[in-house]
Amino acid sequence: MTGLSARFRGTVGRFALDVAFEAPARGITALFGPSGCGKTTVLRCVAGLQHMPDGHLTVGGAVWQDGRRSRPTHARPIGFVFQDASLFPHLSVRANLTYGQSRAARLGAAEVVRFDEVVALLGLEPLLDRSPQRLSGGERQRVAIGRALLSRPGLLLMDEPLSALDRFSKDEILPYLEALHGLSIPVLYVSHDVAEVERLADHLVLLDQGRVVAAGPLEQLQADPALPLARLPEAGVVLHATVADHDPDYGLTTLAFDGGVLVVPGRLGEAGTPRRARIAAADVSLTRQPPRESSILNCLPARIDGSGPRDGVMIEVVLGLGGEGRGERLLARITRRSWDALGLAVGDAVYAQVKSVALLNRNP
C-alpha cells in the first residue's frame, strides 16, 4: 500500500498556504511547528473540511483531490480526533464506540480493527458502561480515539489531542497513543509540543508560516543543524534501540542500536524489546581520547559529520556513531571555545560522553 501524497496551495483569509509533502503508509507522521504555522489548516485540507482549489491529494493510491475535483468529507475514509473529545453525552461509552462502528458499516467500509481489539488496545473495558460525564479528560480522549478507529478509517487524523489535558492526563494517555504504532492505519498527528513529537512520531513534516521547511524521518531532521529543531533549548535526538541484556547486580540495562550501546538504569524489558531513547544535545560532551576514569557510563566512539554556525557562543555538532561514523546520528552542543581548544573539524574521530539518557516509551 502506498502512503499519502499532498499538495495544497491557496489562502484562508490573510493566511497563505503553500505545502507539499509525502507520508508513509504506516506509523505516525507529525505536522509540527509554532502556533499559526498552518498545521491544522493542512489537516482540514486532508479531511476535506477546507478546500483549496489548487490542491492534489492521494491516500493509499486513491485520489481524494485533483484540483477542483474533490471527494467530499463524508466519502473519505478518515477518523478524526479533535482537541475536545466531543462524545455523545446521552450515550454510554460502549454506545459511543459502536456509533462509529455502525456508521462505517452503513458506508460499506472494510473492517480495520475489531471492537474487542480497540477496547484492549485503549484499556476501555472498565469504562464501557459509564457515561461520558463520569470520565476524566484522558479517558474521554481514549474513547474518542476508539470511536475514530472503529469508524474503519484508512487514515487517522489527530489535531492536538492532548492540548486540553493536564500533565497527569497526558501521561495517562501517551502509552495508549504509542500503541497506535502496532496498527496498519497511518496517522497524521498535529502538535506544537516537541516532547510529544519525540515520543510518538516516526516521520516529521516541519512547518513554518504556511510552508514546509523540511520533511523526513524524525531522527534525521533532529540531527540537521540547519533546521530550527537543532537550535531549540531542548534540542536532542531520538535513538531507536533494543534491549540487549540486563545486569541484575547493578540494576542496569544495555540498549543496542546502530553504532553502539547505552547502559541505563532499571530493567527495561526482555532481550529484543524495542525502546525509544532520547539524548539531549546539552547532555553530550566531546573528547579526543576515551576517559580512563569517569562516573559517566556511556562513552561512544563517533565521527563529526557536520556542525552549525560558529559565529556565536555555542555550536551544534552532528555526530555519526560508531568507529566509522556510519551508525545513528547524535547531536552535541558545545561552546565555540571548546571546539577551538580541541581543534575539531568535520571528519574527526571523537568520543561522545553521554551524561543522561531519557526513555520515551516507558511501557514496552
pLDDT tens series, the chain, 364 aa: 478 999 999 999 999 999 999 999 989 999 999 999 999 999 999 999 999 999 999 999 999 999 999 999 988 999 999 988 889 999 999 999 998 777 666 555 566 678 999 999 999 999 999 999 999 999 999 999 999 999 889 899 999 999 888 888 888 899 889 888 888 889 999 998 999 999 999 999 999 999 999 999 999 999 999 998 998 889 999 999 999 999 999 999 999 999 999 999 999 889 999 999 999 999 999 999 988 888 999 999 999 999 988 778 999 999 999 989 999 999 999 999 999 999 999 999 999 999 999 988 754 4
Contact 264, 355 (CB under 8 A): no
Considering the domain architecture, whether residues 15 and 147 belong to the same structural domain is answered as yes
Relative orientation angle of helices 115-122 and 137-149, to the nearest 10 degrees: 150
| pTM > 0.85 | yes
Residues 286 and 146 in one domain: no
> How far, in Å, CA of 219 to CA of 214, rounded?
12
- Count, in order, helices (H) and strands (E) of the chain: 8, 21
244 plus 350 within the same structural domain:
yes
Burial zone of 194 (CB within 10 Å; 0-12 exposed, 13-18 middle, 19+ buried): middle
Residue 144 lies in a domain: yes
For the record, the C-alpha cell of 233 comes out as 533549548
Say whether both 85 and 135 belong to one domain.
yes
Select from 317, 330, 322, 327 the least CA-distant residue to 349: 322
Domain co-membership, 262 together with 184: no
Q: What is the pLDDT of residue 106?
A: 59
The C-alpha cell of 323 is what? 568507529
Is 73 found in the same domain as 122?
yes
* Total domain count, the chain: 2
Same domain, 28 and 153: yes
Can you tell me the distance from the alpha carbon of 285 to that of 91, in angstroms, rounded to the nearest whole number?
56
**Chosen domain end from 222, 257, 276:** 222
Residues 104 and 193 in one domain: yes
Tell me the one-letter amino acid at 360: L
Which domain covers residue 309, as residue numbers?
236-359
Query: Burial code of 33-72, b = ≥16 C-beta within 10 A, e = fewer?
Result: beeebbbbbbbbbbbbebebeebbbbbeeeebbeeeebbe
Task: Indicate whether 231 belongs to any domain.
Answer: no
The answer to whether residue 228 is domain-embedded is no
Counted residue by residue, the chain has a size of: 364
Q: Give residue 363's pLDDT.
A: 46
Pairing type for strands 298-307 and 314-321 reads antiparallel
Among the candidates 177, 195, 222, a domain finishes at: 222
